[in-house]
Homo-oligomer: A and B are copies of this chain.
């Protein structure tokens, strides 16, 4: 029998705010960071000399990463010393036990650093499970029976919109074609769009150069950040349109900066440039506001979800007809299990899922969920794509790969979530070489005022 030994944690921060990569109207100077978790076991690993371990993380943008780590540490007693077989045989049970522990639930519930910490622990166990099975996570999930998938979901607070039986039916109706779709996925990959050109801190020159590059690289959609100054947005959007031409889609993303009336007025001013969607027009909590915005800017589609804290808000965004596109995030909710609920809700309401990615390792992890969705649930890639930013992937042992505008299906066992040991050492905060000798950054500076 093998056991979980402990959690190894690392505070990993990249000084990205020095170059304004990732800058938007809400987040002017992020230092892309990860609260990084390794679930260590004493089981001999099949692929290396190291014992089997599961890797996962929460993506943060600098200050407070240590709070996220404290929340992950608080979950260690739920796993340490337990039989690995027993844990992996019931990942639905593990997930439900973690989100139901009443003292920890009091600190959310279903939101914030404790909820994201549960996500990291659940995701690390999925990485363990996939490594042990010798499969990439997307395939491990796609190979589960419909019954096994619904057993992973917590239907609490969902049954007025989606029952277990309805979820089962959605999965069963796609069960037949799974093998063929897995083959198509391995052959053709999964569509991506590029956010590389659009950061708000970039000059017009960089914007145009990166837009041209994106088209040349085979992307059929790019995304621009908006919401700081309307005149700038119009100029930048028009420049992007002129650069990419009429057939490439341009999404715009306000990162939550607007109130409802402002969102409606602002997007109407940009509508003539034909955005494929407006993303995060207002607070992620504002279901009724998002619905009002969608109504007020028709026919511009609305997308949101990267900060949606849980399946209960996603349920209501769908019930209220507030969104045209659902954007799940791999690290915001309580892991693979809650995202399975989110995918099932989207399928029930017929809304396509286009995952949020970028950050640190979001592309790596979320690709598995989109690929599961294609193979086992949605059954199509039409109207679907995963965000792509070619940034920080070199730090991963199995980085996501995008070729000619498409994610390639991962083949390595696991969830693609392992950071290279050299990178962990280099970017450990605050003692790693990258930080020891560096000036204070806006995202982590000592002077915060």
Q: Taking beta carbons and an 8 Å cutoff, which residues of A are in contact with B?
A: 26-31, 60-64, 66-68, 70-71, 74, 77-78, 82, 97, 101-116, 155-160, 256, 259-262, 282-289, 292, 307, 309-310, 312-313, 315-316, 319-320, 443-444, 446, 448-449
> Is there an interface contact between A313 and B285, defined as CB atoms closer than 8 Å?
yes
- Assembled-state Cα–Cα distance A282/B156 (Å): 10
Q: Which residues of B contact A158 (CB under 8 A)?
A: 259
Query: When A and B form their complex, which 7 residue pairs have the shortest distance between CB atoms, in order from nearest?
Result: A112-B112, A63-B103, A62-B103, A160-B260, A70-B70, A111-B111, A285-B312
> Is there an interface contact between B67 and A74, defined as CB atoms closer than 8 Å?
yes
Copy total for this chain? 2
- Assembled-state Cα–Cα distance A320/B287 (Å): 11
A377 → B minimal CB distance (Å): 23
> Is there an interface contact between B287 and A68, defined as CB atoms closer than 8 Å?
no
> Is there an interface contact between B312 and A283, defined as CB atoms closer than 8 Å?
yes
Q: Which residues of B contact A283 (CB under 8 A)?
A: 109-110, 156-157, 312
- Can you list 24 residue pairs at the A/B interface with Cβ under 8 Å? A27-B102, A30-B103, A31-B103, A64-B71, A64-B103, A66-B74, A67-B113, A67-B114, A82-B449, A107-B116, A108-B112, A109-B307, A111-B112, A111-B309, A112-B114, A157-B289, A159-B259, A160-B259, A160-B292, A285-B310, A287-B316, A288-B316, A288-B320, A289-B312
> Is there an interface contact between B284 and A287, defined as CB atoms closer than 8 Å?
no
- Assembled-state Cα–Cα distance A410/B71 (Å): 37
Q: Which residues of B contact A29 (CB under 8 A)?
A: 102
> Is there an interface contact between A115 and B114, defined as CB atoms closer than 8 Å?
no
Q: What residue of chain B has the Cβ atom nearest to residue A316's Cβ?
A: B288
